[in-house]
Amino acid sequence: MKLISIVVPCYNEQEAIPYFYDAITAVAQKMQDRANFEFIFVNDGSKDGTLQAARTLAEKDERVHYISFSRNFGKEAAMYAGMKKAAGDYIVIMDVDLQDPPELLVQMLDGIEQEGFDCVATRRVTRKGEPKLRSFFARMFYRIINRISKTEIVDGARDYRLMTRQMTDAILEMTEYNRFSKGIFGWVGFETKWLEYENVERVAGETKWSFWKLFLYSLEGIFAFSTAPLAISSVLGLLFCVIAFIMVLIYALKAIIWGDPVAGFPTLICSIFLIGGIQLFCIGILGQYLSKTYLECKNRPIYIVKEEK
């Protein structure tokens, strides 16, 4: 019988863990003639009783394992650590807040075992219960990144997915420090089946993602999976060279034909500001890539474990 490893990143989730454990063990019970289970809770430097909750579960249920980080390293690092620890033939990543319906596991397993997919992933088709502005920006982000990146990044895709050992190993080989898993999942390839479901609201606690954090995360995605922004400066540079050349011609002709009265001070100031702004913007883009390269060069570990079982 196959072993399914369920990786659960947790950050300040003491309220949600008991609900999650009940729901997941019920599903495991239902599927007991098809697979064995292990549950890997990754405590991502929580400041509440999350670690204690994981310890307690690990004591009473030997299928439960946990990793606890020395500080908050982010969900990406937590997923990586969990996948690394997982011993299963199939690996699932699941949020602890029950926004990823555990019942879908049955269908996911069918997708891999009967239909021969390497991965069964989920995507939300609605964004019910989410602020309008956030949904709008999320849609924009997916539209932009899919235009400028060769890697396919699916709108509404969750991290909730069941993967074969082979695919998980491929992901683990991507040891980059700036992790954007929606891109990583797409980048490694393999046959993926998509299950769609309506957005479910959190069972307890609250979301860890502010608008600002999401915005920074989306930039992370763009810089990690596209170099198109780097081309912006070349294109703009070329454009401005052409414009400047034409302007030189025009002003030279004007001076020759009509003489050269001193005028056009506002135009001068405006163009200096415009071009200065564009230059700074482009240097900023360069800086972004440079800083990412800098962090990758340092080769720092993705996470640091303080305690595990």
Please choose, from the candidates 32, 204, 194, the residue with its C-alpha nearest in 3D space to the C-alpha of residue 124.
Answer: 194
- How far apart are the two ends of the chain, measured CA to CA in Å? 24
| Residue 285 lies near ligand UDP (rule: CB under 6 A) | no
Q: Using the rule CB under 6 A, which residue among 96, 112, 224, 282 binds ligand UDP? A: 96
Smaller CB separation from ligand UDP, 72 or 271 = 72
Smaller CB separation from ligand UDP, 173 or 206 = 206
Alpha-carbon dihedral sign for residues 143, 145, 146, 152: negative
Smaller CB separation from ligand UDP, 78 or 184 = 78
Q: What part of residues 11-40 is at the interface with ligand UDP (CB under 6 A)?
A: 11, 13
User: Which region among 25-33, 89-97, 135-143, 222-230 touches ligand UDP (by CB under 6 A)?
Assistant: 89-97
Instruction: From the list Mg ion, ligand UDP, none, pick the one residue 124 interacts with, judged by a Cβ distance below 5 to 8 Å according to partner type.
Output: none
Please choose, from the candidates 297, 307, 303, 306, the residue with its C-alpha nearest in 3D space to the C-alpha of residue 83.
Answer: 303
Cβ pair 35, 4 in contact under 8 A: yes
> How far apart (Å, rounded) are the C-alpha atoms in residues 307 and 305?
6
Burial zone of 239 (CB within 10 Å; 0-12 exposed, 13-18 middle, 19+ buried): exposed
User: Which region among 4-12, 169-177, 183-191, 269-277 touches ligand UDP (by CB under 6 A)?
Assistant: 4-12
* Six-digit token string for 309: 């079982």
Smaller CB separation from ligand UDP, 209 or 251 = 209
Q: Using CB under 6 A as the criterion, which residues of the chain lie in contact with ligand UDP when the complex forms? A: 9-11, 13, 44, 72, 74-75, 78, 95-97, 99, 207-209
